[in-house]
Amino acid sequence: MNLVECTVLSNRELSKGNFLLSLKVPRAFARPVPGQFVHLRVSGQEEPLLRRPYSLEGFVDRAGIRAVRIYFSVVGRGSRFLAANPKGQVLDLIGPLGVGFSPRPRRLPILVAGGRGVAPLLFLSRRLRERNRPFVFLYGARSRAELYGVREIRGGRLHLATDDGSVGFEGSVLELLGREWGHGRHTPLSAEIFTCGPHGLLHEVAEFARRHGIRCEASLEGPMACAVGACRGCPVPLLSNGGNGRYPAMCVEGPVMDATIVDWARLP
């Protein structure tokens, strides 16, 4: 982990309010693990006050140029500032930070993505492909227009779901997961789940995994101040502590965590 300067290589609006940002980083930026994040100063100005944590959509290390990619939606003040950065803008970031996904050997990874939560899972799918590992990618979004990166998912079996049925299965990605598991070809010893998306979806995926005894890692999202474990501003409630005991910090013990131990009902 380091504080490094970065330069905007491109910042494109791919669909309404959804951007793909590419940032050139120096050699001092270590090769990230899918699921890790960067703590980004989102503007060259003094506003907003705090950095924003963003999971990486990808990492490029080609012809001597290193770049990180971030897929983000304009949802608030920080992302509005981030969207306004033109090519050539210099920003800085701290990273790579946190714990990423950890696929186990000889298990089939089932990736379950909801909405813009697809970003770190695209990164994971590329790493799996590099290692010639098969995977299943289940991806749900509101509509065809909001799907991102579908053509980049190669080397695995892809199933899409949309709320409006404009492409793929009409319904939730959770139903896709139910069908995938329902075929009976997977067991908790042969497959595992990696998921990212709205916390409501992650809660449901975690319940599904717990019910079937499946190992399940989820990438969490939330506001952070320091992002290095010092300020204790991003606590993750656990089922075991019932309001007491220790809160892991999302920034250093996450953002990827065992989904079946998180108390989703108490996580905003």
Binding site for another protein (CB under 8 A): 1-3, 41, 46-51, 77-78, 94, 222-226, 228-237, 241, 243-247, 266-268
What is the smallest separation between the CB atom of 84 and another protein, expressed in angstroms?
Answer: 17
Nearer to another protein, 112 or 238 (CB): 238
Nearer to another protein, 77 or 87 (CB): 77
Torsion of CA 259, 262, 265, 268, to 10 degrees: -90
What is the smallest separation between the CB atom of 163 and another protein, expressed in angstroms?
Answer: 21
Q: Which amino acid is at 5?
A: E
Nearer to another protein, 136 or 227 (CB): 227
Nearer to another protein, 156 or 229 (CB): 229
What is the smallest separation between the CB atom of 247 and another protein, expressed in angstroms?
Answer: 6
Question: Which residues are 19's β-sheet partners?
Answer: 13, 72
Helical ranges in 84-237 per DSSP H: 118-130, 173-182, 199-212
Query: Considering only CA atoms, which of 72, 98, 83, 90 is closest in space to residue 24?
Result: 90
What is the smallest separation between the CB atom of 5 and another protein, expressed in angstroms?
Answer: 12
Nearer to another protein, 237 or 255 (CB): 237
Nearer to another protein, 39 or 116 (CB): 39
The span from the CA of 179 to the CA of 169, in Å, is 11
Query: Considering only CA atoms, which of 120, 124, 61, 59 is closest in space to residue 93?
Result: 59
Give every strand in the sheet of 157-162, ordered side by side: 169-170, 157-162, 136-141, 108-114, 191-196, 216-219, 256-258
What is the smallest separation between the CB atom of 244 and another protein, expressed in angstroms?
Answer: 6
Q: What are phi and psi of 234, to 5 degrees?
A: -125, 60
The span from the CA of 264 to the CA of 268, in Å, is 8
What is the smallest separation between the CB atom of 217 and another protein, expressed in angstroms?
Answer: 20
What is the smallest separation between the CB atom of 176 and another protein, expressed in angstroms?
Answer: 29
Nearer to another protein, 105 or 245 (CB): 245
Query: Considering only CA atoms, which of 106, 94, 66, 90 is closest in space to residue 224?
Result: 94
What is the smallest separation between the CB atom of 254 and another protein, expressed in angstroms?
Answer: 12
Question: Which residues are 59's β-sheet partners?
Answer: 68
Residue pair 261/128 in contact (Cβ under 8 Å)? The answer is no
Q: What are phi and psi of 213, to 5 degrees?
A: 65, 30
The span from the CA of 85 to the CA of 90, in Å, is 9
